[in-house]
Amino acid sequence: MASFTTQIMSKFGLYSDKSEAIPFESHLEGLEEETKNSLLNLRNYLKSLGNNVIEEIRPHRITYAKTLTFRTFLDIQPRKDSLVISIRKGRNEPVTNHTINTTQESEEIKYKIAEAYTTIR
pLDDT of residue 1: 46
pLDDT digits (tens, 9 = 90+) for 84-112: 999 999 888 899 999 999 999 999 999 99
Distance of alpha carbon 34 from alpha carbon 42, whole angstroms: 12
Task: Tell me the CATH number for domain 16-119.
Answer: 3.90.1150
The chain-wide mean pLDDT, for the chain, equals: 85
What percent of the chain has a predicted confidence (pLDDT) above 70?
80
- The pair phi, psi for residue 54, each rounded to 5°, is -105, 130
pLDDT digits (tens, 9 = 90+) for 8-49: 555 555 555 554 578 888 888 999 999 999 999 999 999 999
pLDDT of residue 48: 96
Task: Name the helix (H) or strand (E) containing 48.
Answer: helix 33-48
